Amino acid sequence: MTESARTTGIHQLLSVINRRILVIDDNEAIHADFRKVLGSTPLAGEDKLDMLESELLGSNTATAAPRFELDSAFQGEAGVQQAAAAVREGHPYALAFVDMRMPPGWDGLKTIEQLWKVDPDIQVVICSAHSDYEWKQVTERLNHPDKLLVLRKPFEPIEVQQCASALCQKWHNERLIRNQVASLEKIVVARTMGLQAANQQLRHMATHDSLTGLSNRTLLEDRLKQAMAHALRNDQRFAVLVCDLDRFKLVNDSMGHHAGDLFLQEVARRLTSIVRDGDTLARQGGDEFVFVLSPPASEADAEAICRRALEVLSQPMRIDGMDIHISASFGIAVYPRDGERVDTLLANADAAMYCAKQRGNCLQQFSADLGGTAQYRLRLENDLHQALKAGQFELHYQPKVDTATGAVRSAEALLRWRHPERGLVPPGEFIPVAEETGQIAAIGTWVLQQACLQAKAWRDQGLPSLRIGVNISAVQFHQPGLVDNVRAALDDAGLDPRHLEIELTESCVMSNPEESIAVLEALSRMGVLISVDDFGTGYSSMSYLRRFPIDKLKIDKTFVAEMDTRQDDASIVQAIVSLAHGLRLKVVAEGVETEAQLAALKALGCDQYQGFHCSPALPPAEFEQLIRRHAANGSPKLHALDATSSKLAALRFG
* 17 lies in the same domain as 152: yes
* 163 lies in the same domain as 242: no
Task: Check residue 445 and give its pLDDT.
Answer: 93
Look at residue 542 and tell me if it is in a domain.
Answer: yes
Measured between alpha carbons, how far is 336 from 238 in angstroms, rounded to an integer? Answer: 8
- 403 phi/psi in degrees, rounded to 5: -65, -35
Q: Tell me: the pLDDT tens digits for 262-275? A: 999 999 999 999 99
Task: Check residue 521 and give its pLDDT.
Answer: 92
CATH of the domain at 541: 3.20.20.450
**Domain that residue 297 falls in:** 217-371
Look at residue 211 and tell me if it is in a domain.
Answer: no
Order across the sheet with 363-365: list the strands. 280-285, 288-293, 238-245, 328-335, 363-365
Share of the chain above pLDDT 70, in %: 85
Query: Is the per-residue pLDDT at 422 higher than 90?
Result: no
* 268 lies in the same domain as 330: yes
CATH of the domain at 305: 3.30.70.270
* 88 lies in the same domain as 15: yes
Look at residue 159 and tell me if it is in a domain.
Answer: yes
Query: Is the per-residue pLDDT at 44 higher than 60?
Result: no
Look at residue 227 and tell me if it is in a domain.
Answer: yes
Look at residue 383 and tell me if it is in a domain.
Answer: no
Task: Check residue 366 and give its pLDDT.
Answer: 87
Domain C-terminal end among 179, 208, 239: 179
Look at residue 148 and tell me if it is in a domain.
Answer: yes
DSSP 123-140: EEEEEESS--S-HHHHHH
Q: What is the mean pLDDT of the chain?
A: 83
Look at residue 174 and tell me if it is in a domain.
Answer: yes
pTM: 0.48
* 364 lies in the same domain as 457: no
Task: Check residue 653 and give its pLDDT.
Answer: 34
* 151 lies in the same domain as 263: no
Are residues 347 and 429 in contact, defined by beta-carbon separation less than 8 angstroms?
no
Q: Which range among 17-31, 353-367, 469-483, 554-568 has the greatest average pLDDT?
A: 17-31
CATH of the domain at 49: 3.40.50.2300
Look at residue 185 and tell me if it is in a domain.
Answer: no
Q: Which of 643, 459, 635, 471 is nearest to 551 (CA)?
A: 643
Alpha carbon distance, N-terminus to C-terminus of the chain: 45
**Number of domains the chain contains:** 3
Q: CA separation (Å) from 495 to 451, 460, 549?
A: 10, 10, 21
Q: Tell me: the pLDDT tens digits for 404-415? A: 888 888 999 999
Residue 646 confidence class, pLDDT cut points 50, 70, 90: low
Residue ranges of E strands in 474-551 = 500-505, 529-535
